[in-house]
Structure 1
Amino acid sequence: MKTKPTRGKRGLIEADLVQASLMEVERGGLDGFGLRCAARAIGCDVATLSYRFGSKEGLERAIADRLHHEVARPKPHMKWQDRLSEMARAYRKIAKRYPNAFRLLLRFWSTGPRELQLGEEWHRALLDAGLREADVPAVGFATYAAILGVCAGEIDGLLNKPGAEALREIEGQSDLPLTKKLLPIFADLGDDEVFDAAIKILISGIEVEAAKQSRPRQKPLPRSATSRRVTRADRQA
């Protein structure tokens, strides 16, 4: 049975409200975004959005959850490395398509059911990699935040090629011999290369950590009879 779309006050469909708000964020950015400007862009009153989402934060959370729906849940038969890589690349596509709204993904512990589902997939991949359950939360947060950080750096300009001002600053300092040597590489570095390197390093780090955890712990060697006698003698002394 097909689920009917959720309707808010005055019969407006929730998905349409969120989509229109998302487009408004992309048009005007997050700094001036609020229920009032969203209502104006949608063509409804503020009370309608307040009734459905509660607050500006509630609407922003709904927008972020809408973005998560663009990340497909990986197929379970895929290797864990491929599952993480596939989700990571999906987030990069979101960052490029919605550079303003993408920042909302870094703002909430969870944006709703869809992100929780994707988090389940992320955690399952780490567990399948061989990590202990106790380590999955920390590694999950660290790797997820790292991917979002690389995506944010790309859309905000961090990965841009060095400009004329940066080149002048580097040339003006005598304590940067390695940086000066690497400048031609920086000049030719592409965003794809950086993102691929980030995924490769994350995957390798997870593999190394999982390998450490799979090694059997060595039992401590028993003390020799001589050392036991010395210990007793020392105590008597």
Structure 2
Amino acid sequence: MPLKPKTEPRPLAPEAIVAAAIELIEHVGEADFSLRKLGQKLGCDPMTVLYHFKSKDGLLRAMADHLTAQLRASDPTLDWRGRLRALALQYRRVALAFPCTFGLMSRFWTTGPADYQHIETVYQALEEAGFGDQDLAEVGIGWYATVIGLAAAEARGFLRVACDLEAREITQLPEPSFATVRRLVPAFRSLSSERSYRLMVEVVLDGLDSAATRRRAQPRATA
């Protein structure tokens, strides 16, 4: 009986590796994620992953860029506040869909090709708000740190109602020294994570508006 020709395993596409890596990290968490476990999931040697991404950080950045690609572009007809608000809500949507992978978004200055159009949107909006080139870079990075951090906090469960233990601990604090937080226990017990997120986005936008107005009012230095 003739022997069947030996078939070689089909090469893994980078996109398939990234998809499997995201599925794995969402299942085991970032702390337990490893190239060895990913290789086992894919049925390949970990060196195959390194061949495509050069390093573990290269893979993690590609995973973050995959999430960035899930963001929908802001409507260009909106004003600067509307465009930033829409993008902030997109980050929230992606964070809730990929809570473990989303933490990678804050690890890289940019995630890669999918990121640059959104970066351009942010800096154009901030320029429209009234910030000059001297401030744009710092304010833009600050906007990203705030929005990504806020979205990650909600995805990891920080923006939530106070549990029974937490509420009980607060009510047991001495009244004179902690009157404000004691009074807020009912509010802590009825928090809405979405409402908190949206409120903080508006606070950030108001702050940007005020800061840009103050900057415009400052006299320009003469040479």
Partner SS state of residue 202, structure 2: helix
Tell me the equivalent position of 2:110.
110
**Cα-to-partner distance string for 1:53-88 (whole Å, 9 max, x where unaligned):** 112111111100100001122232221111111111
Tell me the equivalent position of 2:179.
177
Aligned-partner Cα distance in 2 for 1:124–1:42: 41
Correspondence list, 1:84-163, <5 A: 84-163=84-163
One-letter amino acid of the structure 2 residue matched with residue 205 of structure 1:
G
One-letter amino acid of the structure 1 residue matched with residue 187 of structure 2:
I
Partner SS state of residue 159, structure 1: coil
Q: In the comparison of the two structures, how many residue pairs are matched?
A: 211
The answer (yes or no) to whether the contact 1:39–1:49 under 8 Å persists in 2 is yes
Partner SS state of residue 194, structure 1: helix
Task: Label 1:218 to 1:152 Cα distance change in 2 as closer, same or farther (>3 A).
Answer: closer
Aligned-partner Cα distance in 2 for 1:194–1:137: 27
**Cα-to-partner distance string for 1:103-124 (whole Å, 9 max, x where unaligned):** 1101111221212321121111
The structure 1 segments of at least 4 consecutive aligned residues displaced by more than 3 Å after TM superposition are none
One-letter amino acid of the structure 1 residue matched with residue 127 of structure 2:
L
**Cα-to-partner distance string for 1:171-197 (whole Å, 9 max, x where unaligned):** 222121011111112222201110111
Shift of 1:10: 5.5
Tell me the equivalent position of 1:13.
13
Partner SS state of residue 161, structure 1: coil
The answer (yes or no) to whether the contact 1:162–1:187 under 8 Å persists in 2 is yes
Partner SS state of residue 188, structure 1: coil
Task: Label 1:216 to 1:147 Cα distance change in 2 as closer, same or farther (>3 A).
Answer: closer
Tell me the equivalent position of 2:70.
70
Shift of 1:213: 2.2
Q: Mind listing any 5+ residue stretches in structure 2 that lack a counterpart? A: 1-8
**Cα-to-partner distance string for 1:90-133 (whole Å, 9 max, x where unaligned):** 11111111111011101111221212321121111100111111
One-letter amino acid of the structure 1 residue matched with residue 120 of structure 2:
E
**Cα-to-partner distance string for 1:39-60 (whole Å, 9 max, x where unaligned):** 2112222121111011211111
Aligned-partner Cα distance in 1 for 2:166–2:124: 43
CA RMSD of aligned residues (A): 1.8
The answer (yes or no) to whether the contact 2:163–2:189 under 8 Å persists in 1 is no
Aligned-partner Cα distance in 1 for 2:77–2:171: 52
Larger Rg: 1
Aligned-partner Cα distance in 2 for 1:121–1:200: 18
The answer (yes or no) to whether the contact 2:75–2:83 under 8 Å persists in 1 is yes
One-letter amino acid of the structure 2 residue matched with residue 106 of structure 1:
S
Task: Label 1:82 to 1:218 Cα distance change in 2 as closer, same or farther (>3 A).
Answer: closer
Identity %: 31
The answer (yes or no) to whether the contact 2:167–2:189 under 8 Å persists in 1 is no
Q: Which of 197, 200, 203 lines up with 2:202 in the alignment?
A: 200
The answer (yes or no) to whether the contact 1:68–1:114 under 8 Å persists in 2 is yes
Q: Mind listing any 5+ residue stretches in structure 1 that lack a counterpart? A: 1-8, 220-237
Partner SS state of residue 16, structure 1: helix
Partner SS state of residue 11, structure 1: coil
Q: Is the deviation greater in 124-133 or in 69-78?
A: 69-78
The answer (yes or no) to whether the contact 2:60–2:104 under 8 Å persists in 1 is yes
